[in-house]
Chains A and B, each alone.
Chain A
Amino acid sequence: MDNSEKILQQLFKSAPLPELSADFTSKLLEKTSLLPKPKAVSAKPLIHSLILGLGFLLPVVIAVAFYFEGNTSNIQMLDFHTHFRLAEYLKQFLSNYLIISFATLVLIWFLIDFKFINFRRVRKYEINVFPLWAWELENTTTPRRNVGLFIFIFLLLRGKQVLQVQ
């Protein structure tokens, strides 16, 4: 802070602000007495768990499917027929459109996470209702950003490769 900022700070601190009404707390307590008591939520909301599940499991399933798809000859050679059938099934199921849609979804998630898209501005009460936002690994967002970035790049490259083959 330079001198002008220090002066500004002093001015701010000495600027008088009005007082709250004397009955503010009593009025508030009267209102809250009519409301149901707050309770701790023991289980995570269903949507939270679903998004968490999708966020982790779907990329893993897709990554596995793509891995086998890219190495079918090796699989046949190693006689992993069960895995090969699973890969074929998933390959049919995950069309190219789905890959691109999913990559877009991951990109949006990634942009929100980096605050390029300011999701908070559209939220009224700023209470953690957005599950991806609330999901924190050891109180830091870095791991999930890395995971998001990895999934996005992987899907983008893979989707491009699939489209080129076609």
Chain B
Amino acid sequence: MAEQDDKVTIKKLLAGEVNALQVIVGKYKRQGFNLAYRICRNRENAEEILQNVFISIYQNLAQFNFKGEFSTWFYRIVYNQSISYLRKIKNSGTSLNEFEGMNNVIDEEKTIEEIMSRSEAVHYLEQALIELEPDETALLHLYYYDDKRISEISEITGLNDSAIKTRLFRTRKKLYSILERLLKKEFVDFYG
């Protein structure tokens, strides 16, 4: 039903009702921003990526295939633009550590007391996510946060279903081992 609404809105936009863009932006900006943020790990950059995504969609709306779902198309563009953005950063010679150092706006803005009062597990998860590759984080985000099906993730990332399953399995394993290491370190730091 929601997909039908999207298609109606897109048709309106194509018919010249520019206000329909606001409906699309309002509906998808949060989801797109979350994915872009998970991949590029920086709020300002994620916003910039999302601005470009919506502009790209606006300019290429005529190419939208009405047989497919708009949300999948949208996610695919967000995913690709975020990955391209990271590649550009790497190619420009900006250190990834420096880039990662800019991340985690929440932690920067919150005091130690606030972090401690927050769920410990979530805190460790966020720390562990930083150590994963951006495309691995994106997979986890799409599967666990956005509840996307394997077939949808396949459409978004361009990987086949079995590759998605394998990567999800490996990424989970990697995440668990990072979490294990972080927890051990914490234990050693605390008890000496």
Question: Could you tell me if B63 and A128 are in contact, using CB atoms closer than 8 angstroms?
Answer: yes
CB-based nearest A residue for B103: A18
Q: CB within 8 A of B33: which of A16, A20, A32, A129?
A: A20
A125 CB–B CB distance under 8 Å: yes
The CA of A9 and the CA of B105, in the complex, are separated in Å by 22
How many residue pairs link A and B with beta carbons under 8 A? The number is 120
Spot the interface stretch: B1-9, B24-32, B89-97, B182-190: B24-32
Question: Could you tell me if A121 and B158 are in contact, using CB atoms closer than 8 angstroms?
Answer: yes
CB-based nearest A residue for B163: A115
Knowing A29-B21, A39-B14 touch, does A127 contact B54 (C-beta < 8 A)?
A: no
Question: Could you tell me if A118 and B140 are in contact, using CB atoms closer than 8 angstroms?
Answer: no
Query: Chain B contacts of A20 at CB under 8 A?
Result: 29-30, 33, 47, 50
The CA of A118 and the CA of B154, in the complex, are separated in Å by 12
Query: Chain B contacts of A40 at CB under 8 A?
Result: 11, 14-15, 62
Q: CB within 8 A of A15: which of B15, B25, B125?
A: B125
Number of residues from A at the complex interface, CB < 8 A: 42
Q: How far is the CB of A144 from chain B (nearest CB, A)?
A: 14
Question: Could you tell me if A38 and B56 are in contact, using CB atoms closer than 8 angstroms?
Answer: no
Q: How far is the CB of B153 from chain A (nearest CB, A)?
A: 13
Does more than half of chain B's interface fall in helix, strand or loop, or is it mixed?
helix
A139 CB–B CB distance under 8 Å: yes
The CA of A131 and the CA of B121, in the complex, are separated in Å by 47
Query: Chain B contacts of A129 at CB under 8 A?
Result: 63
Knowing A8-B172, A31-B51, A125-B60 touch, does A13 contact B106 (C-beta < 8 A)?
A: no
Q: How far is the CB of B107 from chain A (nearest CB, A)?
A: 10
Question: Could you tell me if B62 and A15 are in contact, using CB atoms closer than 8 angstroms?
Answer: no
Q: CB within 8 A of B29: which of A24, A123, A128, A134?
A: A24
The CA of A12 and the CA of B128, in the complex, are separated in Å by 12
Q: CB within 8 A of A31: which of B16, B55, B65?
A: B55
Q: How far is the CB of B84 from chain A (nearest CB, A)?
A: 6
CB-based nearest A residue for B106: A16
Q: CB within 8 A of B51: which of A14, A16, A28, A127?
A: A28
Knowing A11-B122, A11-B125, A126-B76 touch, does A35 contact B59 (C-beta < 8 A)?
A: yes
Q: How far is the CB of B179 from chain A (nearest CB, A)?
A: 10
Question: Could you tell me if A29 and B22 are in contact, using CB atoms closer than 8 angstroms?
Answer: yes
Query: Chain B contacts of A11 at CB under 8 A?
Result: 119, 121-122, 125
| Contact bitstring B126-166, A, C-beta under 8 A = 1, else 0 | 10000000000000110011000000000000111000000
- Could you list 13 further interchain pairs (A-B, Cβ under 8 angstroms) beyond the known A32-B55, A128-B63? A11-B122, A13-B144, A13-B145, A17-B33, A18-B105, A20-B29, A20-B30, A24-B29, A27-B51, A38-B59, A115-B158, A115-B160, A127-B60
Interchain Cβ contacts under 8 Å between A and B, 6 examples? A20-B50, A24-B29, A24-B50, A38-B61, A40-B11, A126-B80
